[in-house]
């Protein structure tokens, strides 16, 4: 079991990504460093629209040791209908961006979030809702309702069950609630983060961020 590292998310903004300030805090509360984290929660283009050209991100940094932890949830996320969504471990780029896998049929487990079965804190998965190539696997999350059962499968085949408690949408112009991701001592929970709401175009793309929270079953 690895020691928990606190994640403080201060804000999310638009421009096709969700930008936040990341503060890593050790067990004694000392600040180790601050950087900017951009979690890409969707491509923010409707299916029929050509992708927006942007500078390619810098190469991804090497995954930390916890990415090989036996409890990492890379066995997949099982939805209520039995569909398994594949999950890859993803870490932030040196420039601070955190992208779900380029393959929109796969999800990303943020390696700096929690591990299933550790008993406390948030296990964070991010996924694309769609792209110019079609619907992303995270679009299924918008069908989830309270009490739906989700199962995370870890690298050993162990299963960790969660029940959906709420789905919340946040205008990208507003601050993202840090309590969804910053949990370190709260009971363990699964947090799924993607885009949602109407597509309004421009730098905003989809108007909202959507977070689905599920508690251990």
Q: Give the pLDDT confidence of 97-137 residue by residue, as tens digits.
A: 557 788 999 999 988 888 999 999 999 998 989 888 899 99
Residue 79 lies in a domain: yes
Is the per-residue pLDDT at 88 higher than 70? Answer: yes
In the prediction, which pLDDT does 173 show? 72
Mean pLDDT within 59-80: 74
Residue 192 resides in a domain: yes
Q: Is 106 left (phi over 0), alpha (psi -120 to 50) or beta?
A: beta
Contacts of 10 (CB under 8 A, 6+ apart): 20, 21, 23, 175, 178
Residue-range definition of the domain harbouring residue 199: 6-44+62-216
Per the domain annotation, does 1 fall within a domain?
no
CATH number at residue 138: 2.40.260.10
Task: Please give the Cα distance from 135 to 209 (Å, whole number).
Answer: 17
């Amino acid at each position: 079991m690895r020691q928990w590292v606190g994640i403080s998310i201060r804000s999310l903004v638009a421009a096709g990504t969700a930008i936040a300030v990341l503060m890593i805090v050790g067990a004694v509360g000392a600040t180790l460093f601050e950087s900017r984290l951009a979690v890409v929660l969707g491509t923010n283009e409707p299916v029929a629209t050509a992708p927006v050209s942007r500078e390619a991100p810098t190469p991804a940094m090497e995954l930390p040791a916890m990415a090989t932890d036996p409890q990492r949830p890379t066995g997949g996320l099982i939805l209520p209908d039995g569909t398994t969504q594949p999950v890859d471990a993803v870490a932030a780029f040196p420039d601070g961006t955190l992208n779900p896998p380029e393959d929109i049929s796969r999800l990303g487990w943020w390696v700096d979030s929690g591990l299933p079965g550790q008993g406390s804190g948030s296990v964070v998965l991010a996924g694309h809702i769609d792209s110019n190539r079609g619907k992303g696997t995270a679009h299924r999350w918008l069908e989830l309702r309270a009490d739906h059962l989700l199962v995370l499968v870890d690298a050993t085949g162990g299963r960790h069950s969660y029940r959906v408690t709420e789905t919340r949408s946040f205008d990208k112009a507003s601050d993202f609630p840090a309590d969804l991701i910053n949990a370190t001592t709260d009971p363990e929970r699964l947090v799924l983060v993607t885009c949602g709401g109407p597509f309004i175009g421009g730098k905003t793309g989809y108007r909202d961020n959507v977070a689905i929270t599920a508690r251990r079953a």
